[in-house]
Amino acid sequence: LKRNRIKQFSDIGLRLHPNAIEKEYSSLKAAFSINSKHFKQQQNSRFDKNSALGFNNQKTSPHKGSAAYQFQQALKHLQESGYTQTVYQKYFK
- pLDDT tens column, 9-56: 778 777 666 655 545 544 556 778 888 888 999 999 999 999 999 878
CA distances to 4, 20, 21, 25, 56 from 40, rounded to whole Å, are: 37, 21, 24, 29, 18
Model confidence pTM above 0.95: no
What single string gives the DSSP state of each residue in 19-82? TSBSSTTT-B-----TTSTT--EEE-TT--TTS--BTTB-SEEE-TTSHHHHHHHHHHHHHHTT
pLDDT at 43: 95
Residue ranges covered by each domain of the chain: 9-91
Q: Average pLDDT in the 61-81 region?
A: 92
Q: Average pLDDT in the 61-74 region?
A: 92
| 45 neighbors 59 (Cβ within 8 angstroms) | no
Q: Average pLDDT in the 67-87 region?
A: 90
